[in-house]
Amino acid sequence: SPTARDVAATIGALLAAHADIASAGLLARGIAPGCAITPVPVPASCAQPSLRAALLDARERALACGLRQHRSLTGLLPPGPVEMLLDVETVGIAAPLSALDSEGGLARWARARLAASGRTAESALAASLAGADPFGVTDAAGIAAMREAIAPVCAILPEVPSLPAPRAASAGRGKLPARRGGYTQKVSVGGHRLFLRTGEYPDGRLGEIMISLPKDSATLRGMAEAFAGAVSIGLQHGVPLDEFVDEFAFTRFAPAGAVEGDAMISQATSLLDYVFRHLAATYSQRPDLAALDLADDAAGVDAAAPLLPLDLPETGTGRPKRQRPVLKLVS
Lowest-pLDDT range of 50-54, 86-90, 312-316 = 312-316
- Coil, helix or strand at residue 44: coil
Distance CA 259, CA 20 (A): 79
Compute the distance between CA of residue 207 and CA of residue 235 in angstroms, rounded to an integer. 5
Q: Is the pLDDT of residue 141 over 80?
A: no
Q: What is the DSSP letter of 318?
A: -
Pick from 157-171, 236-250, 272-286: least confident: 157-171
pLDDT at 50: 93
Q: Phi and psi at residue 141, in whole multiples of 5°? A: -65, -40
Of 212, 207, 273, 211, which is closest to residue 234 (Cα–Cα)? 207
DSSP 131-162: T--TT----HHHHHHHHHHHGGG-SB-PPPP-
Check: CB of residue 273 under 8 Å from CB of residue 315. Answer: no
Q: Is the pLDDT of residue 124 over 90?
A: no
Report which of residues 103 and 64 the model is more confident about: 64
Burial letters 250-265, b for 16+ CB under 10 A, else e: bbbeebbbbbeebeeb
Q: Which residues of 54-82 are buried (b: 16+ CB within 10 A; e: fewer)?
A: bbeebbeebeebeebbbeebbebeeeeee
Whether residue 90 contacts residue 96, with contact meaning beta carbons closer than 8 Å, is answered with: yes
pLDDT of residue 90: 67
Output 188 or 164, whichever has higher pLDDT. Answer: 188
Residue 318 pLDDT grade (very low, low, confident, very high; cuts 50, 70, 90): very low
Could you report the per-residue pLDDT of 284-315, keeping only the tens digit for each?
877 777 766 555 444 444 444 455 555 555 55
Q: Is residue 68 over pLDDT 50?
A: yes
How many CA atoms, within 13 angstroms, populate the side-chain half-sphere of residue 321?
A: 6
Residue 203 DSSP class: T
DSSP code of residue 298: G
Question: What's the pLDDT band for 138 if we cut at 50, 70, 90?
Answer: low
C-alpha 270/C-alpha 268 separation (Å) is 5
pLDDT of 131 > 90? The answer is no
- The radius of gyration of the chain from alpha carbons, rounded to an integer in Å, stands at 31
pLDDT exceeds 50 at position 166: no
Three-state DSSP state, 14: helix
Span 253-274, pLDDT tens digits: 888 888 998 888 888 899 998 9
pLDDT of residue 296: 46
Residue count of the chain? 331
CA distance 81 to 215: 59
Q: What's phi and psi for 186, nearest 5 deg?
A: -110, 125
**51 has a pLDDT exceeding 90:** yes
Which residues are CB-neighbours of 37 under 8 A, at least 6 positions away? 20, 24, 62, 63, 65, 66, 67, 68
The answer to whether the peptide bond before residue 255 is cis (omega within 30 degrees of 0) is yes
The fraction of the chain above a pLDDT of 90, given in percent, is 24
Q: Give the DSSP H/E element, type plus range, for residue 3.
A: helix 2-27
Q: What is the mean pLDDT of the chain?
A: 80
* Interacting residues of 156 by C-beta distance below 8 A, sequence separation 6+: 72, 74, 75, 76, 77
Tens digits of residue pLDDT in 204-249: 889 999 999 988 888 888 999 999 999 999 999 888 888 898 888 8
**Angle CA(106)–CA(117)–CA(93) in degrees, nearest 5?**
70
